[in-house]
Structure 1
């Protein structure tokens, strides 16, 4: 099915094992133009602990109280139903090999393996397909100064609701364990490059660009890096 639509509750109930066939009444209601087959839904998930699983289950926790109570969020959880695959590649393989299989993978794996994706209804009520534009839009919201936040179930009207940041964690004070100033300065410059010039590389690698308001937050954090109390960047 290439033009499938899913609501948050339908997605959660599929992963809870409450919706078992593709021609379920609720799926037909949100996909009136599709000829959905009477085919079992095989749920695929990551068998290994992963950040991808954390993001997916974090989203399900936000949209389904039952999911949060029964399963919760985490890098690894006890899945109520389904079949596990190792890594994004393993889940992508299950989706391609098993008729009626539904799984979650990084956008890059879906694009590279030509796997159809569903349009998921976001908080604004819009059905959004995962795309680089929709992922960047999801991040274009107000976030805390330390950037510690979840952007799943985003408030952004054009945002895809299952998206996340990737962080690099470094010491703010870089003068530790006889670390030379040259190395500390090089790291700060690398991080500055990552949030500026390197953003041009994101989309060719199938990752969303950071919105400007997020770049501004990241700039302040990178500029707060010090060596013996002195800023590493001007």
Structure 2
């Protein structure tokens, strides 16, 4: 019996799962996978290469799972070699941050101002439209240097989905997607690349996942939501926003959660997803066991400590049911 137990643990230690994709989710995935190895001996080699590259890696069958903040569309699904199960793992906020000496968090921005900065129409930090909605009146006479993603990005998908929903002119001229044709700006690879460009550029302005801004001591803008209130990004305001879409998410787990109704909803947020082949994929048992573990209370609390929004119980239940549809699934928790 002892020999069998030792052999079983050695087998678990020998498993290395491979994943690639989202930089948005990389901070929590790094912690999750380290903790999971401690508990089970299973290693996870996760490459934070961006959502687009993660989807391509799964399509090319070079990984056991992909990770994306832009769920696969019906058209995307048809291009995959096997049916794909996509489950959200957590929610998160995309924040507007900036490099303005002497200016901390709390700068107010509207969807229209953000759109016009990225369309090259607002070029200075002391533009009258910015000054008009802010209590901070000493904004510097500095050029705004907008920073965007240079790679196919789920963070860009969330950000441009927000602008598309909130600003008709943006919807007409630019639209939404993992990649768009940016009229102006500096490109950065991944959330780390955008963060680094903002930090090194006086007057820099861009969008990153909340944890990247907090960990790098960058200020956070308050963004006007659909109810007309200026809301600061946080776990609470992200949870409130996602909660507005629970009914729609039960019908289609891919439903965008941007520009949600509600007085306290933060308007630029979304879910981050993992993609697993329903059949035909590699290591389906260990992969489904890993992500059913991620649905547990401990893993979700770890996410909250890193400024991600834990999933509501109704979505966790849907996720566990979806994981069970994977051929060879090993679901670790739940009914």
Task: Please report the TM-score for the alignment, with normalisation by the length of structure 2.
Answer: 0.61
1:210 corresponds, among 308, 311, 315, to 311
Per-residue deviation, residues 121-147 of structure 1 (Å, max 9, x unmatched)? 111222111122222222112223341
Taking a change above 3 Å as real, the CA distance of residues 62 and 146 of structure 1, as seen in their structure-2 partners, is: closer
Matched, 1:137 2:237: no
**Counterparts in 2 of 1:58-207, with a 5 A limit?**
58-141=161-244, 142=246, 143-172=249-278, 174=279, 176=280, 184-197=284-297, 198-207=299-308
Per-residue deviation, residues 178-229 of structure 1 (Å, max 9, x unmatched)? x8xxx655444433322223212102333221123433433443355565xx
1:19 corresponds, among 88, 104, 122, to 122
Residue of structure 2 equivalent to 1:50 = 153
Taking a change above 3 Å as real, the CA distance of residues 94 and 186 of structure 1, as seen in their structure-2 partners, is: closer
Distance 1:186 1:37 in 2: 54
Given that 1:91 and 1:105 are in contact with CA atoms closer than 8 Å, whether structure 2 keeps it comes out as yes
The DSSP-based 3-state class of the residue aligned with 1:170 is: strand
Taking a change above 3 Å as real, the CA distance of residues 92 and 68 of structure 1, as seen in their structure-2 partners, is: same
Distance 1:25 1:110 in 2: 26
Count of residue pairs brought into register by the alignment: 225
Gaps of 5+ in 2: 1-102
Distance 1:171 1:79 in 2: 33
Shift of 1:27: 0.8
The DSSP-based 3-state class of the residue aligned with 2:192 is: helix
Higher strand share: 2
> What is the aligned-residue RMSD (CA, Å)?
2.3
Distance 1:185 1:97 in 2: 44
Shift of 1:7: 0.9
Given that 2:126 and 2:141 are in contact with CA atoms closer than 8 Å, whether structure 1 keeps it comes out as yes
